[in-house]
Amino acid sequence: MGFRFRRAAARQKGQYRFADLGDLPTQSKQGTKNRKLIESCARGILAEGAVPIMIGGDDSTPIPFIQAFSDHGPLTILQIDAHIDWRQERYGEPWGFSSTMRRTSEMAHVKKIVQVGMRGMGSAREEEVRDAEAWGAKLITAAIIHEKGIGAALTHITAGSPLLITLDCDGLDWSIMPAVTYPSTGGLTHTQVTRLIQGAIAKARLVGFDLIEFVPKNDKDGIGAFTAARLVCNVIGSLANR
């Protein structure tokens, strides 16, 4: 899958500018090369004073994306996902999917990690949960959001802090986002996710956003694509209103 980058620039003379930079020429089984492309492109966008928005790829792609913000810390990460992704490695690969937040926690410019939407079997093994909590990650399950609302997550977002949101499509409920690899019921609703994004952007300062793990072949009647597009539009609109 290609990676499409968009950048949302700051208002100038009362206008909000937006640019679509197209797809990166990534290649299957070329992880090291792909990571360099993602990080380089994101750094270039940041150098222009814009907000990079990345769409596409599996849940390892936020690793180089987040690394590109090394000069923009101390960074708060808001991850919306069904899984916590704290594995040290998977099948011998430390830079692949399931290790995203573990690698993120090792970056000096990342100060806080808030993880929302976890649920179901396979989210994490016991030792990974312990490691995440020992580092200081805030784990807010989907069940907590359903019971207490998005305030349970927003309370952990530091006001005015640089904020990067990484959204794995399986954080949403399967009924509205079937286009995922590992579907799990009991996920977040469209309203919960949009309100969470809006609330986080209103409280902090969004510096980057990615939407990942969208699997077109598993989409049912285009429901997932429609939901994903609306979420990205919501992010763009929230930036413009800011």
Q: Could you give the C-alpha distances from 165 to 86, 89, 158, 240, in angstroms and in order?
A: 17, 23, 13, 16
Q: Is residue 35 part of a domain?
A: no
**Quick one: which of 226, 228, 198 has its CA closest to 213?**
228
Q: Is residue 29 part of a domain?
A: no
Q: Is residue 215 part of a domain?
A: yes
Q: Which residues contact 199 (CB under 8 A, 6 or more apart)?
A: 150, 154, 157
Q: How many domains does the chain have?
A: 1
Confidence at residue 2, expressed as pLDDT on a 0 to 100 scale: 43
Confidence at residue 1, expressed as pLDDT on a 0 to 100 scale: 37
Q: 206: domain range?
A: 56-228
Q: Is residue 241 part of a domain?
A: no
Q: Is residue 49 part of a domain?
A: no
What CATH number does the domain containing 222 carry?
A: 3.40.800.10
Q: Is residue 224 part of a domain?
A: yes
Tell how far CA 232 is from the center of its chain. 11
pTM exceeds 0.85 for this model: yes
**Quick one: which of 100, 117, 90, 30 has its CA closest to 64?**
100
Q: In this structure, are strands 3-8 and 18-24 parallel, antiparallel, or unpaired?
A: antiparallel
Q: Is residue 6 part of a domain?
A: no
Q: Is residue 184 part of a domain?
A: yes
Q: Which residues contact 49 (CB under 8 A, 6 or more apart)?
A: 9, 10
Helix-strand-coil split of the chain, %, nearest 5 = 35, 25, 40
Confidence at residue 164, expressed as pLDDT on a 0 to 100 scale: 98
Per-residue pLDDT in tens (0 to 9) along the chain, 242 residues: 345 666 555 555 567 888 899 999 988 888 899 999 999 999 999 999 999 999 999 989 999 999 999 999 999 999 999 999 999 988 888 898 899 999 999 999 999 999 999 997 766 889 999 999 999 999 999 999 999 999 999 999 999 999 999 999 999 999 999 999 988 899 999 999 999 999 999 999 999 999 999 999 999 899 999 999 999 999 999 988 87
